[in-house]
């Protein structure tokens, strides 16, 4: 008779545990949740304290029967789903299905899948945590109450198939509000003046920026002001008036938590949050390392704690000392503080063994697995290394009534940066070190050049996946296990689109957001949603009752629902008068909402069914320098059902259109076509020859009319990557690539 039944979520984890536990235990996988609220109905009894009506998930009946069969001959059942709220709910439902008075039901938490951790969890099992299960249950019911009661209103008022989510809609709101900030931003012109200088006995020149003019902080609003100051300073003497040197430190970063891993994987590896979590899950559950068998390479990847076990710290400190020497080992371990409310029961994301260096396991991992593992490994090791030291020199230069400043930074000790440097969200911020030549106070300098430069204040940046996750985290929206799902959902629903790595709200997203914000001012409020996340945390900690929390939420929400059903704008039936005239019958046109956004329709419908696109609809029309081949009018870029295309601006008088030209000639020998932009049936943009089907040349990356400097191929391609735009040669054998 076996010692017990161990139930985990993933079949992949079964293989790894079997290696550690041998034949003493029967190990089965639930393959995720086995029970959930029913599809197609609310599944929550509003009259009986929000009692959920769980049903067996389709296809999971067979798994439940197998678990029951496996539990018959054992006394001890060890429930080992993932150590988070979702895992607790899975464990709870399994216990309800297969537990009875004759069985010992234990909860085991595998924070890492290593032999030591697994055996320790089995030998020291715990109990199911009711408060953790209730926190998950409250979240699930909250999401169901919002989704299943708000979405039908959107179906009635806008169109079928739309969805509203308690957290996803707040994420859309953040993207929409940022876009409006950008649209409302008024750029201001300003100028700078840079002096290129050189010491009398030095061959090295350096730049200094004008900071003060006639005793005040310099402000040059236009070219005339900049040129006037430039003229006044072209013939004066320049000399060093002050030199200040300061020691600066850059401290190492803590090991990864979920959100930081997702952000950094996007910056450095161009991984989406979903892809990052999918790969991390595999690294956690176990990878076949040949003779070592299945080994879990990282600790549990859904965590908001930066805590690290004493044993792991000791191991990494020994490794640092052996590899880099005493100078790269702090006297005491570096200690980091988790944010308020973090679940300290979990560790940060780290390698399970410091001995499994990335290069040692590289041959067993695919390219993406290795890249993510190396990122985690480097960050963890660097977190226990000393700070980097720099010497910053600030030189003040006097030139008559002007003060110029030059700043140089010289690395003194690399510290943790010998191994790891964090990526940047916006490359324009730039943290590169600049060196200055040796200078002395009173030294007279030679002016080589005085350069005025025009600038404009910039609007806020649009969110990337990394910065949106950061924004959600800072505002308390969502938790480690939900960030990837939130981003995937708002893209899938068509509320936002990703363009060159940045989030843009769609016309649909803005419309739905406006309707929800007006009709549900509390539920989709950012602060309200953050407070609800805190309440869920308090339920888990046993500080709040889950039913009371749902009642506090539902009473005002129910009133909003009733009001919205009556007073929400009926966009679907709305007919907005316009001055446009129908080409067919001369009636006035009205603006209506359809599957692809707003369009113009004849007011005499159904007698006249004429429709046309709204000019400038949702920003979907962009002017170009191209000319119409039929009437010579300027061409504009429009967005239609099958993506972007060029159309005559003289529409409807001229209806000429053609595919969007990239300006790149087809490279196929004997073909005189150009490469144009197209879109697949699933909406993915690609580029192909305009002469299709006679020429089938096509590629995914956007071609740009720049000759390859390495092999002279007629064009390069570009794609967003690693925090910037990557240019490369499309010829595989060439290998040329460069970042902007």
Taking the C-alpha atoms of residue 644 and residue 623, their distance in angstroms, rounded to an integer, is 13
386: which DSSP letter? Answer: P
Tell me the C-alpha to C-alpha distance, in Å, between residue 159 and each of 168, 277, 279, 563.
18, 33, 36, 19
The backbone region for 40, taken as left when phi is positive above 0, alpha when psi lies in -120 to 50, beta otherwise, is left
Closest by CA position to 137, among listed 58, 35, 64, 10: 35
Return phi, psi of residue 645, to 5°. Answer: -155, 165
DSSP 8-class letter at 363: G
Identify the active-site residue in 54, 78, 238, 300. Answer: 300
Strand, helix or coil for residue 192:
strand
- Answer for the pair 109, 300: CB distance below 8 angstroms, yes or no: no
Alpha helices by DSSP H, 393-524: 465-474, 483-492, 507-519
Q: 3-state class of 738 per DSSP?
A: strand
Terminal CA-CA length for the chain: 65
With H, G, I as helix, E, B as strand and everything else as coil, classify residue 467. Answer: helix
Quick one: which of 652, 506, 540 has its CA closest to 162?
506
CA torsion, points 129, 132, 135, 136, in degrees to nearest 10?
Answer: -100
Dist CA 16 CA 552 (whole Å)? 44
β pairing state of 76-79 and 4-8:
parallel
Can you list the pairs that 604-613 forms with residues at least 24 positions away whose Cβ atoms lie under 8 Å? Answer: 608/582, 608/584, 610/582, 610/583, 610/584, 610/585, 612/583, 612/651, 612/652, 613/638, 613/640
How far, in Å, CA of 367 to CA of 283, rounded?
Answer: 13
Active site residue 300: yes
Q: What is 690-711 written as a DSSP string?
A: TTTTT---EESSEEES---TTT
Taking a C-beta distance cutoff of 8 angstroms, is the pair 250, 417 a contact?
Answer: yes
Q: Write the CB contacts of 217 (distance below 8 Å, at least 6 apart in sequence).
A: 211
Query: What is the helix, strand, coil percentage profile of the chain, to 5?
Result: 35, 25, 40
Q: Return the structure tokens found at 253.
A: 């970063």
Which single residue is written with the structure tokens 């200094």? Answer: 208
Q: Which long-range contacts link 643-651 to residues 24+ away (Cβ below 8 Å)?
A: 643/677, 643/678, 643/679, 643/683, 643/685, 644/677, 644/679, 649/623, 651/612, 651/615
User: How many Cα atoms occupy the beta-carbon half-sphere of 409 within 13 Å?
Assistant: 13
Three-state SS sequence of 715-734: CEEEEEECCEEEEECCCCCC
Residues in the chain: 740
Q: What is the 3-state secondary structure (H, E, C) of 46-111?
A: CCCCCEECCEECCCCHHHHHHHHHHHCCCCEEEECCCCCHHHHHHHHHHHHHHCCCCCEEEECCCC
Q: If you search the block for the tokens 């390859």, which residue do you land on?
A: 708
Distance CA 51, CA 46 (A): 7
Specify whether the CB–CB gap between 677 and 660 falls below 8 A: yes
CB 168 within 8 A of CB 489: yes
List active site positions. 300
């Amino acid at each position: 008779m076996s010692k017990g039944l161990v139930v985990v979520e993933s079949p992949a984890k079964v293989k790894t545990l079997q290696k550690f536990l041998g034949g003493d235990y029967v190990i089965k996988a639930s393959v995720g949740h086995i029970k959930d609220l029913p599809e197609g109905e609310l599944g929550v009894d509003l009259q009986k304290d929000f009692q959920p009506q769980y049903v067996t998930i389709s296809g999971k009946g067979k798994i439940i029967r197998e678990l029951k069969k496996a539990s018959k001959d054992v006394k001890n059942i060890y429930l080992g789903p993932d150590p988070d709220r979702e895992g607790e709910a899975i464990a709870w439902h399994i216990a309800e299905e297969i537990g009875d008075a004759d069985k010992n039901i234990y909860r085991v938490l595998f924070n890492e899948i290593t032999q030591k951790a697994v055996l320790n969890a089995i030998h020291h099992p715990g109990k199911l945590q009711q408060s953790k299960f209730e926190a998950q249950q409250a979240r699930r019911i909250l999401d169901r109450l919002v989704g299943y009661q708000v979405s039908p209103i959107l179906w009635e008022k806008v169109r079928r198939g739309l969805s509203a989510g308690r957290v996803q809609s707040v994420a859309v709101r953040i993207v929409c509000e940022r876009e409006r900030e950008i649209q409302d931003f008024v750029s201001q012109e300003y100028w700078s003046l840079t002096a290129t200088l050189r010491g009398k006995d030095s061959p090295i020149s350096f730049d200094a920026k004008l900071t003060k003019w006639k005793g005040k902080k310099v402000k040059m609003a236009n070219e005339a002001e900049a040129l006037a100051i430039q003229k006044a300073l072209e013939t004066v003497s320049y000399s060093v008036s002050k030199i200040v040197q300061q020691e600066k430190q850059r401290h190492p970063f803590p090991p990864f938590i979920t959100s930081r891993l997702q952000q950094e994987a996007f910056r450095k590896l161009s991984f989406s949050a979903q892809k990052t979590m999918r790969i991390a899950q595999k690294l956690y559950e176990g990878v076949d390392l040949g003779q070592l068998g299945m080994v879990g390479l990282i600790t549990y990847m859904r965590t908001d704690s930066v805590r690290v076990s004493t044993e792991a710290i000791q191991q990494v400190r020994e490794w640092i000392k052996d590899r880099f020497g005493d100078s790269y080992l702090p006297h005491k371990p570096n200690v980091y503080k988790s944010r308020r409310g973090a679940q300290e029961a979990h560790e940060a994301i780290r390698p399970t063994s410091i001995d499994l260096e990335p290069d040692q396991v590289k041959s067993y991992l695919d390219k993406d697995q290795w890249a993510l593992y190396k990122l985690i490994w480097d960050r963890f090791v660097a977190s226990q290394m000393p700070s980097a030291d720099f010497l910053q020199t600030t030189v003040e230069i006097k030139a008559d009534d002007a003060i110029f400043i030059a700043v140089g930074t010289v690395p003194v000790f690399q510290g943790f940066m010998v191994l790891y440097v964090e990526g940047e969200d916006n490359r324009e911020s730039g943290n590169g070190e600049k060196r200055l030549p040796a200078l002395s106070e009173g030294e007279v300098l030679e002016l080589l050049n005085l350069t005025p430069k025009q600038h404009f204040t910039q609007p806020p940046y649009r969110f990337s996946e990394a910065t949106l996750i950061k924004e959600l985290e800072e505002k308390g929206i969502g938790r480690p296990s939900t960030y990837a799902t939130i981003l995937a959902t708002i893209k899938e629903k068509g509320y936002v689109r990703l363009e060159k790595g940045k989030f843009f709200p769609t016309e649909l997203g803005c419309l739905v957001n406006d309707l929800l914000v007006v009709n549900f001012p509390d539920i989709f409020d950012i602060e309200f949603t953050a407070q609800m996340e805190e309440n869920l945390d308090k339920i888990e900690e046993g500080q709040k009752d889950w039913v009371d929390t749902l009642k506090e939420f539902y009473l005002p929400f129910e009133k909003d629902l009733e009001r919205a059903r009556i007073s929400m704008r009926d966009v679907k039936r709305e007919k907005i008068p316009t001055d446009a005239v129908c080409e067919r019958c001369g009636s006035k046109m009205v603006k209506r909402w359809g599957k692809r956004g707003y369009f113009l329709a004849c007011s005499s419908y159904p007698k006249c069914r004429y429709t046309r696109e709204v000019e400038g609809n949702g920003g979907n029309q962009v002017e170009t320098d191209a000319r119409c081949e039929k009437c010579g009018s300027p061409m504009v870029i429009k967005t239609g059902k099958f993506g972007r295309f060029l159309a005559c601006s003289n529409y409807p008088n001229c209806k000429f259109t053609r595919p969007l030209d990239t300006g790149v000639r087809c490279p196929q020998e004997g073909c005189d076509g150009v490469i144009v932009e197209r879109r697949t049936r699933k909406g993915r943009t690609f580029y192909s020859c305009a002469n299709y089907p006679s020429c089938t040349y096509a590629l995914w990356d956007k071609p740009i009319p720049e000759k390859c400097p390495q092999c002279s191929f007629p064009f390069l391609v570009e794609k967003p990557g690693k925090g910037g735009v990557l240019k490369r040669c499309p010829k595989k054998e060439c290998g040329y690539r460069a970042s902007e």
